[in-house]
Amino acid sequence: METAVPLPAWKRAVLKVGSNLIAPERRRLSTRHLLAIARFIADARAQGREIVLVSSGAVAAGRALLGEGEAQGIPAKQALAALGQPRMLEAWARLFDFPCAQVLLGYDDLQNRRRFVNAKNTLRELLRLQALPIVNENDSVAVDELRLGDNDNLAAHVAVLVEADLLLILSDIDALYDADPRRVPTARRIARVAQVDEATLALAGGAGSAVGTGGMLTKLQAAAKATARGIATVIANGRDAAALDALARGACPGTLFDAAGSQVSAKDHWMRHALASQGRIVVDAGAARALRARGASLLPAGVREASGAFRAGDAVEVCEEGASGALAKGIAQYDAGELMRIAGRSSGDIAAILGYEGPETVIHRDDLVLL
């Protein structure tokens, strides 16, 4: 094995385990690879460290329980997830002599600020109680348009929730390479990535496992989310005992993605990565300068137009007139229709136009993040 890069010091880590490790033959759950991972978790806890486990495998477990083939349609996948979730949790729990807790998270838990904070508090309390939180997406009630879609990105969100120092993504993939090692024998492992940029994302190949939904692209997306929050990220092979031993020794046998030097706040990270935009507001050059240079709130006087059926409390993109791409993202204080009535007007005119005394700002600076 090539020389490993040292891991940064860590106290709390989120460990993501893919379907191809918990159900390697697609037909049933297996401890073939889980035993070594469980030993890594137990050893880390014995050293006073904290682990949150994000585990795939519920749908695969449900499929194995019924002897079913590929699930057809959302209801079938939801049913398999409901059947398999207890089996997946049991597969992990029997490997430990400490309590394990099931935590199911969904899209709405990350979209809604109150639920986001509630999930954060629950996970923190489980860690205080020295339980092992085992997190999965709530697939039994999720639909395609309202789901996270892969546990790589879920793990990144969980790492932010618990303010982890490290995100470990384990699958059957050794590392990030400069070419697809399955097709290019001379492909070289990239031991360290300083920043996940467009060039890095371009290295991602197609989908990996036929069981899970994550490929290299979702792992890089997860690394980008976590490192932006100051959380170093590792991609390593969970099937390789030597790789797990290296991680236990404080070395990265796969690829280490460095944490960003300048961290964004948890709220800004939530708004940037978890909150879906419901519309678009176009502002004039003066308002754009005020947002960029002074961190100002957005006033109705600077608004030129609004699009989308957004309501007060929804997230919207803010774009400068005549420019491409979004300038910022924020939480609107007015419905789209109301905003168009007060666009370009002074805040002092709001009551006369709308018939009630509304907020002076369209988006308050505390609810706005520059992109």
Report d(CA 326, CA 336) in Å as an integer: 18
Residue that terminates a domain, selected from 209, 235, 264: 264
In the chain, how long is the greatest CA-to-CA distance? 72
Other residues' Cβ atoms within 10 Å of the Cβ of residue 127: 17
CATH of the domain at 315: 2.30.130.10
| Tens digit of each residue's pLDDT (9 = 90 or more) over 240-291 | 999 999 999 999 999 999 998 766 666 777 788 878 899 999 999 999 999 9
Answer yes or no: is 309 within a domain: yes
pLDDT at 262: 63
122 and 238, same structural domain? yes
Q: Return the ∠ at Cα 232 (arms to 230 and 237), rounded to 5°.
A: 155
196 and 60, same structural domain? yes
Residue 353: CA count within 13 A, CB half-sphere = 18
Answer yes or no: is 253 within a domain: yes
In the predicted model, is pLDDT for residue 232 greater than 70?
A: yes
Report d(CA 269, CA 267) in Å as an integer: 5
Residues 6+ apart with CB under 8 A from 112: none
pLDDT at 164: 93
Beta strands in 258-314 (DSSP E): 277-283, 303-307
194 and 280, same structural domain? no
- When pLDDT is averaged across residues 118-128 and rounded to a whole number, the result is 90
- When pLDDT is averaged across residues 22-43 and rounded to a whole number, the result is 87
244 and 307, same structural domain? no
Between these two residues, 211 and 137, which has the higher pLDDT value? 137
Distances in whole angstroms, Cα of residue 115 to Cα of each of 94, 118, 191, 247:
30, 5, 37, 33
Report d(CA 83, CA 86) in Å as an integer: 7
61 and 82, same structural domain? yes
340 and 213, same structural domain? no
Answer yes or no: is 208 within a domain: yes
Residue that terminates a domain, selected from 220, 237, 264: 264
260 and 313, same structural domain? no
- What are the structure tokens assigned to 349, written together? 């005119």
209 and 77, same structural domain? yes
Residue 290: CA count within 13 A, CB half-sphere = 16
Dihedral angle over CA of 309, 140, 104, 272, nearest 10: -30
249 and 329, same structural domain? no
**Percent above pLDDT 70 for the chain:** 89
Place of tokens 């890089």: 220
- The count of structural domains within the chain is 2
Burial 199-214 (b: 16+ CB within 10 A, else e): ebeebeeeebbebbbb
Distances in whole angstroms, Cα of residue 340 to Cα of each of 59, 306, 308:
46, 6, 11
Lowest mean pLDDT across 157-161, 225-229, 266-270, 302-306: 266-270
Residue 41: CA count within 13 A, CB half-sphere = 30
- When pLDDT is averaged across residues 312-333 and rounded to a whole number, the result is 92
337 and 220, same structural domain? no
CATH of the domain at 185: 3.40.1160.10
Answer yes or no: is 17 within a domain: yes
pLDDT at 210: 38
In the predicted model, is pLDDT for residue 310 greater than 60?
A: yes
Angle of helix 151-161 relative to helix 113-128, nearest 10 degrees, comes to 80
Answer yes or no: is 293 within a domain: yes
140 and 103, same structural domain? yes
In the predicted model, is pLDDT for residue 213 greater than 50?
A: no
Report d(CA 100, CA 53) in Å as an integer: 10
Residue that terminates a domain, selected from 244, 264, 284: 264
Residue in 57, 53, 48, 56 with CA at minimum distance from that of residue 13: 53
Answer yes or no: is 270 within a domain: no
Answer yes or no: is 269 within a domain: no
Mean pLDDT over all residues of the chain?
87
DSSP state of 366: G
Instruction: Report pTM.
Output: 0.77
Answer yes or no: is 271 within a domain: no
158 and 41, same structural domain? yes
Residues 6+ apart with CB under 8 A from 90: none
Domain enclosing residue 292, as ranges: 276-370
What stretch of H or E contains 19? helix 19-22
